[in-house]
Structure 1
Amino acid sequence: MADSFAHDLLLNTTRFLLTRHDPDALCRDGLAFLAAELGANLGMLHLRESAVTYRMHASVGAHPLLHVHDVQTMEPGWEELMQAGTWISSPVPSPDWFGPADRSYVRLGAQHLVSFGLYSGPQMIGTVNLLFPEPREDLAGLEVLGTVGGLWGTLLARMQAQRELAGREAMLRMVTDQGSDLLSIIDEQGTITYQSAASGELIGYPAEVLIGRPYDGAVHHADLPCVRAALAQLRREPGGTVNLSFRIRHARGQLVWMEANARNLLHEAHVRGIVIHMRDVSAAQATQRHLERRVQDLTLMHDTVQQLQLGRTAAQVAERLVNLIQNRLAYPYVQVGRVLPDLSVDTVAREATSRDEPVRRLPPGAGVIGACVQTGRTVYVPDVTADPRYVARHAEVRSEVIIPVRVSGQLWGVLNVESPHPDAFDPADIQSLETVAAQAGSVLANVELLDDLRRSRDELRAAYDETLAGWARALDLRDRETEGHSQRVTDLTVELARRLGVPETDLVHIWRGALLHDIGKVGIPDAILHKPGPLTDDEWRVMQLHPQMAFDVLEPVAFLHPALDIPYAHHEHWNGRGYPRGLKGHAIPFAARIFSVVDVWDALRSDRPYRAAWSEERASAHLEAQAGQQFDPQVVRAFLDLLRERRAATPESA
Structure 2
Amino acid sequence: MLPPTPGAGFAHGVPRARGYDVGGMTDSFAHDLLLNTTRFLLARQDPDSLCRDGLSFLAGQLGAALGMLYLRETEVTYRLHSQVGTHPLLHVHELQIMEPGWEDLLQAGAWISTPVPAPDWTGPEDRNYARLGARHLVNFGLYSGSRLIGTVNLLFGEPRPDLSDLEVLGTVGALWGTLLERLQTQRDLAGREAMLRMVTDQGSDLLSVVDEQGVITYQGAASETLIGYPADFLIGKPYDGAIHRADLPGVTAALENLRRVPGSTTNLSFRIRHAQGKLVWLEANARNLLHEPAVRGVVIHMRDVTAAQATQRYLERRVQDLTLMHDTGRLLHLSRTVPEVAEGLVDLIQGRLGYPHVQVGRVLEDGSVEAVARETEVRAAPITRLGPGEGLIGAVVQAGQTLYVPDVRQDARYAERHAGMRSEVIVPIHVGGQLWGVLNVEAPQVNAFDHRDIQTLETVARQTGAVLENVSLLDDLRRSRDELRAAYDETLAGWARALDLRDRETEGHSQRVTDLTLALARRLGVPQEDLIHLWRGALLHDIGKVGIPDAILHKPGPLTDEEWQVMRQHPQMAFDMLRPIRFLHPALDIPLAHHEHWDGGGYPRGLQAEQIPLAARIFSIVDVWDALRSDRPYRRAWTAERALAHLEAQSGRQFDPQVVRAFMALLADQQPVDGESA
**TM-score, normalised to structure 2's length?**
0.53
Q: Which of 115, 125, 146 is 1:284 aligned to? A: 146
Sequence identity (%) = 71
Asked if 1:379 corresponds to 2:403, the answer is yes
Shift of 1:541: 0.3
Residues 545-560 of structure 1: pairs in structure 2 closer than 5 A: 545-560=569-584
Equivalent residue number for residue 592 of structure 1: 616
Equivalent residue number for residue 337 of structure 1: 361
Name the CA distance, whole Å, in 1 between partners of 2:601 and 2:478. Answer: 45
Three-state SS of the structure 1 residue aligned to 2:618 is: helix
Shift of 1:644: 2.2
Name the CA distance, whole Å, in 2 between partners of 1:542 and 1:358. Answer: 67
Q: Which of 469, 475, 478 is 2:493 aligned to? A: 469
Equivalent residue number for residue 391 of structure 1: 415
Equivalent residue number for residue 402 of structure 1: 426
Asked if 1:618 corresponds to 2:642, the answer is yes
Name the CA distance, whole Å, in 2 between partners of 1:630 and 1:332. Answer: 71
Shift of 1:529: 1.1
Shift of 1:310: 3.5
Could you tell me which runs of 5 or more consecutive residues in structure 1 were left unpaired when the two chains were aligned.
Answer: 1-240, 247-257, 262-280
CA 1:461/1:359 → structure 2, altered by over 3 Å: closer, same or farther?
Answer: closer
Name the CA distance, whole Å, in 2 between partners of 1:423 and 1:352. Answer: 25
Asked if 1:575 corresponds to 2:596, the answer is no
Equivalent residue number for residue 209 of structure 1: none
Equivalent residue number for residue 503 of structure 2: 479
Equivalent residue number for residue 548 of structure 2: 524
Three-state SS of the structure 1 residue aligned to 2:449 is: coil
Write the deviation string for residues 228-285 of structure 1: whole angstroms up to 9, x where unpaired.
xxxxxxxxxxxxx966759xxxxxxxxxxx9799xxxxxxxxxxxxxxxxxxx99836
Name the CA distance, whole Å, in 2 between partners of 1:652 and 1:598. Answer: 18
Equivalent residue number for residue 158 of structure 2: none
Q: Aligned AA for 2:543?
A: I
Write the deviation string for residues 272-321 of structure 1: whole angstroms up to 9, x where unpaired.
xxxxxxxxx99836998899677664433211111223333222222221
Residues 295-314 of structure 1: pairs in structure 2 closer than 5 A: 297-314=321-338
Higher Cα radius of gyration:
2
Three-state SS of the structure 2 residue aligned to 1:337 is: strand
Write the deviation string for residues 52-109 of structure 1: whole angstroms up to 9, x where unpaired.
xxxxxxxxxxxxxxxxxxxxxxxxxxxxxxxxxxxxxxxxxxxxxxxxxxxxxxxxxx
Say whether the 8 Å CA contact 1:245–1:260 is kept in structure 2.
Answer: no
CA 1:653/1:387 → structure 2, altered by over 3 Å: closer, same or farther?
Answer: farther
Shift of 1:560: 1.4
Equivalent residue number for residue 23 of structure 2: none
Name the CA distance, whole Å, in 1 between partners of 2:592 and 2:352. Answer: 61
Three-state SS of the structure 2 residue aligned to 1:566 is: helix
Name the CA distance, whole Å, in 1 between partners of 2:346 and 2:609. Answer: 61
Residues 210-609 of structure 1: pairs in structure 2 closer than 5 A: 284=146, 297-355=321-379, 357-609=381-633
CA 1:494/1:358 → structure 2, altered by over 3 Å: closer, same or farther?
Answer: closer
CA 1:244/1:467 → structure 2, altered by over 3 Å: closer, same or farther?
Answer: farther
Name the CA distance, whole Å, in 1 between partners of 2:540 and 2:574. Answer: 8
Three-state SS of the structure 1 residue aligned to 2:146 is: helix
**TM-score, normalised to structure 1's length?**
0.55
Three-state SS of the structure 2 residue aligned to 1:417 is: strand
Shift of 1:492: 0.8
Three-state SS of the structure 2 residue aligned to 1:451 is: helix
Say whether the 8 Å CA contact 1:333–1:419 is kept in structure 2.
Answer: yes
Three-state SS of the structure 1 residue aligned to 2:388 is: coil
Q: Aligned AA for 1:618?
A: R
Say whether the 8 Å CA contact 2:324–2:349 is kept in structure 1.
Answer: no
Name the CA distance, whole Å, in 1 between partners of 2:674 and 2:410. Answer: 73
Shift of 1:486: 0.8
Shift of 1:359: 4.0
| Backbone CA RMSD of aligned residues | 3.2
Shift of 1:330: 2.8
Shift of 1:487: 0.9
Say whether the 8 Å CA contact 1:379–1:401 is kept in structure 2.
Answer: yes
Write the deviation string for residues 620-651 of structure 1: whole angstroms up to 9, x where unpaired.
22112211221112222222222222235996
Shift of 1:611: 1.6
Q: Aligned AA for 1:538?
A: E
Q: Aligned AA for 2:484?
A: L
Name the CA distance, whole Å, in 1 between partners of 2:470 and 2:382. Answer: 30
Shift of 1:539: 0.8
Residue-pair matches, total: 387
Q: Aligned AA for 2:619?
A: F
